[in-house]
């Protein structure tokens, strides 16, 4: 970890995190590779979910629970798969009891094909959970007014998508995302749709505060190396943002001084 990282922590709901990468735990080839990827990335939090005990044979119960405890990384439970306000609230309450945390990644899905958030119900669900004491990180689209409403009801950070979950397309609407950054002062975490480290680097260069990844790491041919690549790219983008990028020019500007160029204006014999 560089000195820059230590001097530039991420604050969410007043809690300090040393990393600006949040990592999902799903779809890895094996629990061993998941653990190694988490170790390599050193994420601020890892996401987890809840399912019926009989629903996912071999995955529910103690093995994953023990792995989570061994990772010793804060857990961010999600409400993945919830389609309504009550479902999401109940799932969050169950997650709080199981994971012993007030943090919740709020997902209220409005369309099963794109997994697009239900923008009409998301704000209401977030408002109720915040009243109930949760630290809500809402998964949302890049709609400015929706994100503003989430802030209005008490969300101290917002998580707009870059593209639909699991697509790896990278930012499909850079204009909207950069506008979000320009208009909102709360921490913004890009959640979903990033496929390459360069995508993470780009959004961090635009001033986003963190990224949340899963599939791009889990489905890489070498998930552990890719976890490291995303961690480096996220950090590089952050440092670039803080450093201030140059203003783009329309015409070429020589970087080497022209004055004193040998053979300048000599006529070939």
Partner 1 sequence: MKVLINQVVHDLPEGACLAQAIDAIDAKQPFAAAVNTHFVPRARYHQHLLHDGDHIEIISPVTGG
145 vs 161: CA distance, rounded Å: 15
168 vs 175: CA distance, rounded Å: 18
Per-residue x/- marks for partner 1, 107-126, CB under 8 A? --------------------
Q: Smallest distance, Å, CB 54 to partner 1?
A: 6
Contact 139, 162 (CB under 8 A): no
Contact 167, 195 (CB under 8 A): yes
Q: Determine whether 38 is exposed, middle or buried from the number of CB atoms within 10 Å of its CB (0-12, 13-18, 19+).
A: buried
- Which CB sits closer to partner 1, 97 or 112? 97
- Which CB sits closer to partner 1, 25 or 140? 25
Contact 142, 180 (CB under 8 A): yes
Catalytic residue (one of 62, 105, 135, 169): 105
Q: Smallest distance, Å, CB 242 to partner 1?
A: 28
Q: Which stretch binds partner 1 (CB under 8 A): 90-98, 203-211, 231-239, 243-251?
A: 90-98
**Exposure pattern of 217-231 as b/e (b: 16+ CB <10 Å)?**
bbebeebbebbbbbb
Q: Assess 25 for contact with partner 1 (CB under 8 A).
A: yes
Q: Smallest distance, Å, CB 68 to partner 1?
A: 7
- Which CB sits closer to partner 1, 20 or 149? 20
Q: Assess 160 for contact with partner 1 (CB under 8 A).
A: no
Q: Smallest distance, Å, CB 194 to partner 1?
A: 12
Q: Which of residues 127-156 bind partner 1 (CB under 8 A)?
A: none
Per-residue x/- marks for partner 1, 38-67, CB under 8 A? ---------xxxxxxxxxx--xxxx-xx--
Dihedral over Cα of 1, 8, 170, 59: its sign: positive
- Which CB sits closer to partner 1, 9 or 61? 61
40 vs 228: CA distance, rounded Å: 5
105 classed as catalytic: yes
Structure tokens at 41: 């990335």
The alpha carbons of the chain give a radius of gyration, in whole angstroms, of: 21
Residues lying near partner 1 in the complex (CB under 8 A): 24-28, 34, 47-56, 59-62, 64-65, 68, 77-78, 80, 86-87, 90-91, 93-95, 97-99, 165-166, 214-215
Active-site annotation, residues:
105
């Amino acid at each position: 970890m560089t000195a820059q990282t230590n001097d530039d922590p991420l604050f969410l709901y007043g809690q300090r995190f040393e990393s600006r990468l949040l990592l999902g735990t799903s779809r890895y080839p094996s629990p061993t590779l998941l653990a190694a990827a988490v170790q390599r990335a050193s994420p601020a939090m890892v996401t987890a979910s809840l399912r019926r005990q009989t629903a996912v044979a071999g995955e529910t119960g103690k093995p994953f629970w023990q792995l989570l405890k061994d990772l010793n990384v804060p857990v961010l439970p999600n409400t993945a798969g919830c389609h309504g306000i009550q479902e999401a609230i109940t799932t969050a309450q169950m997650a709080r009891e199981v994971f012993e945390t007030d943090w919740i990644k709020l997902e209220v899905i409005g369309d099963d094909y794109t997994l697009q958030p239900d923008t009409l119900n998301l704000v209401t669900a977030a408002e109720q959970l915040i009243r109930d004491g949760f630290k809500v990180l809402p998964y949302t689209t890049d709609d400015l007014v929706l994100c503003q409403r989430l802030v209005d009801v008490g969300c101290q950070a917002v998580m707009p998508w870059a593209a639909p979950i699991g697509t790896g397309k990278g930012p499909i609407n850079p204009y909207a995302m950069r506008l979000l950054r320009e208009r909102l002062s709360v921490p913004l975490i890009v959640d979903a749709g990033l496929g390459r480290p360069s995508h993470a680097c780009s959004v961090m260069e635009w001033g986003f505060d963190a990224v949340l990844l899963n599939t791009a790491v889990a489905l890489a041919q070498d998930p552990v190396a890719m976890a490291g690549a995303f961690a480096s790219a996220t950090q590089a983008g952050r440092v670039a943002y803080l450093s201030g990028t140059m203003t783009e020019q329309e015409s070429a500007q020589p970087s080497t001084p022209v004055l004193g160029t040998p053979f300048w204006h000599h006529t070939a014999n």
